[in-house]
Amino acid sequence: MLLGELIARLDTEWSTYVPSDDLARECGIHDYIDGNLIDHGFSMRPVTEWCCTDTWVGLYVIYYNGEPVATSNQTARKSDVEIEWFSKEAAHKVRDALLALVRAEEPEDNFKIVNLNEEIGEPSYQLNFSSQVIHDDAIYQGRPVKIVKTFQGYDSKTWHLVVIRDGENDITVNLKDVHFPVKLLPKTD
C-alpha cells in the first residue's frame, strides 16, 4: 500500500489538540504561538499511536483547512518530532498561516517533502511494551485477534507480553509476534 493511499483512506479519530511548537520550529518560526492550532484551521489524526510513559506518540497526519499537509512522527517520549510535508506548496501555506499568527519575519525555506508514492508494505505497526497498547484490535499469525489483557508495573518479565483472544482461547504472547492494523476506510475505485 502506498503512503498516499493509506492517508486518503485513514479512518481514525481526530485529535483534540494540534501543538504549535513543532510546526512553527519546522517552518523556521521561533516566536511563540499561543494556543491550540485547532482554533486556526488545523487538525490532526493518528496513523499509529501509543503511549510512551506519559506521552502519546506515533505517526500523525496534519491537516490545514481540511487538506492533509504534513506528517508528524515521534517514536518515543523524549524523541524529536519529525515533520515531513506533502509538498512545498503545503509547507508554504502552513508557514504563511503561522506567520499570520505571530507576524514574524519570513524564515528560510528548508522543508522536507514526504514521498507519497513510497511503498510502506502492510498498514500495521508493532509495539515494544505492553503498557503502550491502547487499541484492542490486533493481528497474530496473520489472523485478527483481540487484546484482552496488558501488563503494567515493575515486573520486567511481563513488559513484552499481552493476552490475546484467539477464537475462544486466551493466550499469552510476546508483543514481537503481534501487529496492530492501521484503521482505514474501505478502498474505493
Tell me the three cell numbers of residue 160: 513484552
Going by their DSSP bridges, the two strands 42-52 and 143-150 should be labelled as: unpaired
Which pLDDT does position 165 carry in this prediction? 93
Which residue matches cell numbers 498516499?
4
Tell me what percent of the residues of the chain surpass a pLDDT of 90.
52
Ranges of each domain in the chain: 3-102, 124-181
Query: 41-44 — which CB contacts under 8 Å span 24+ positions?
Result: 41/65, 41/97, 42/18, 42/97, 43/14, 43/15, 43/18, 44/14, 44/15, 44/17, 44/18, 44/72
Residue 69: its pLDDT value, please?
Answer: 95
Instruction: Return the pLDDT at 104.
Output: 45
pLDDT tens readout for residues 73-132: 999 999 999 999 999 999 999 999 998 888 645 566 778 899 999 998 889 999 999 889
Interval 154-166 mean pLDDT: 89
For residue 146, with 0-12 CB atoms within 10 Å meaning exposed, 13-18 middle and 19 or more buried, which class applies?
Answer: middle
| Percentage of residues of the chain with pLDDT beyond 70 | 96
* pLDDT at residue 55 tops 60: yes
- For the record, the C-alpha cell of 165 comes out as 483472544
Mean of pLDDT over the chain: 89
In this predicted structure, the answer to whether residue 36 has a pLDDT above a threshold of 90 is no
How far, in Å, CA of 171 to CA of 31, rounded? 52
Pairing of strands 169-174, 178-181: unpaired
Reported as a pLDDT band with limits 50, 70 and 90, residue 152 is confident
Q: Are 131 and 147 in contact (CB under 8 A)?
A: no
Q: Find the mean pLDDT for residues 20-31.
A: 86
Mean pLDDT of 54-67: 92
